[in-house]
Structure 1
Amino acid sequence: MKTIKLLSLLFITAVAASCSSVRVASDYDDSVDFTRFKTYGYLKDGVDKAEISDLDKKRIFRAIDAELQKKGFTKSDKPDVLVNIFTKATKDVNVNNWGGGYGMGFGYGGWGPGWGWGGPWGWGGNYTSVSTSTEGTLYIDLIDATKKELVWQGVGSGVLTQDRNKKQDRINEFVAKIIAEFPPQKESK
């Protein structure tokens, strides 16, 4: 029984550790000089279409404001770039089934004692755990306000939390990792 408890604890620890990571990627227009952008604002029409609660939108905006301001950007009514967000979520259901035990069983070529997992006269059992998680993806688009063209996009994916006390921290983590990719560092060829 101690083995099963230990395996359960290890499984829960592994799941919890994997939940904390945010995977990010970004893409951008190679022809754009990103050093000319100094101010930002939000693209109201796009932001209004994001299918999340207004409370979560506010949390995302606070995180974006903090990260862009760390990079020297200023929020403006006449911005150089417009920020747009898009979100999506998928629910994952994880079912884990494992069993164990020992006992007498059928041997090769007839009846006989055999040791192995399970068996008609052994002890053990099957153990099942079911867990659900919601995988969220946050897209942050930067649009050249003059040309009305997308110039940069960052994407972050990871497990979301429903715990109200942890939402802002999780959103901050998503946004910080996404905005860390901006401005793009052009690779030398």
Structure 2
Amino acid sequence: MKHFFIFVLAVVAISCGSTRVDYDYDEQIDFSQYQTYNFMPEMDSGLSQLDLKRLMDATDAVMQAKGFTKSQTPDVLINIIAEEYEDVQRNSVGVGIGGGSYGGGVSVGAGIPLGGNKNHQTITLDLVDAQKDILVWQAVSDSNIKVGTNPQERVTHYTKIAQKIFEKFPPEE
């Protein structure tokens, strides 16, 4: 039983900080044709201006590390859409006290919630062919986000998100 409890704690600890990313792309596209990028001129990202700038700066760093160049006449345009939601925890532990004798009894019960509500952030990043105006690649990330973080923690968060999102870009042929 002790080992099971330790295992459960380890799984919970690992899953709390994880970022999951799902990818989709057009298999007919030759991604080697894309050398330049820029961001959509009019983005309604759902992020604050500060967080959008942090994510765009992190995206710039990752794209440039992958050999892409930011251009005013790009091959692909990047669009960012973010949503935040609260995941309500429904797990609880019941505690009860009971007693009685000879047909009479008293009992008290209570439910103690396990963990608290968690804030999540979903970021959808679209790459659109600038000439054809078609979506060619998409990544959707879902991660926990801490409330009340300082600016440096937010830079770190968005840097990790950008690295994870572009981990499998461009897709291998």
TM above 0.5, yes or no, is yes
Displacement of 1:41 in angstroms is 0.6
Which amino acid counterpart does residue 63 of structure 2 have in structure 1? L
Displacement of 1:83 in angstroms is 0.8
> TM-score of the superposition, structure 1-length normalised?
0.75
Equivalences for residues 74-85 of structure 1 within 5 A: 74-85=69-80
- Stretches of structure 2 lacking an aligned partner (at least 5 in a row): none
Larger Cα-atom Rg: 1
The residue that corresponds to 2:121 in the other structure is 136
- Distance across 2 between alignment mates of 1:41 and 1:159: 27
Displacement of 1:120 in angstroms is 3.7
- Distance across 2 between alignment mates of 1:173 and 1:125: 44
Aligned residues: 166
> TM-score of the superposition, structure 2-length normalised?
0.81
- Cα RMSD, aligned residues only: 2.9
Contact 2:25–2:136 (CA under 8 A) maintained in structure 1: yes
- Distance across 2 between alignment mates of 1:79 and 1:144: 9
Q: Equivalent pairs: percent with the same residue?
A: 36
Contact 2:97–2:109 (CA under 8 A) maintained in structure 1: no
- Distance across 1 between alignment mates of 2:92 and 2:117: 15
The residue that corresponds to 1:116 in the other structure is none
Displacement of 1:159 in angstroms is 0.8
- Stretches of structure 1 lacking an aligned partner (at least 5 in a row): 1-6, 112-118
- Distance across 2 between alignment mates of 1:50 and 1:141: 11
Which amino acid counterpart does residue 30 of structure 1 have in structure 2? E
- The ranges of structure 1 where at least 4 consecutive aligned residues each deviate by more than 6 angstroms after the TM superposition are 9-13
The residue that corresponds to 1:25 in the other structure is 22
Higher mean displacement: 95-104 or 62-71: 95-104
Displacement of 1:59 in angstroms is 0.8
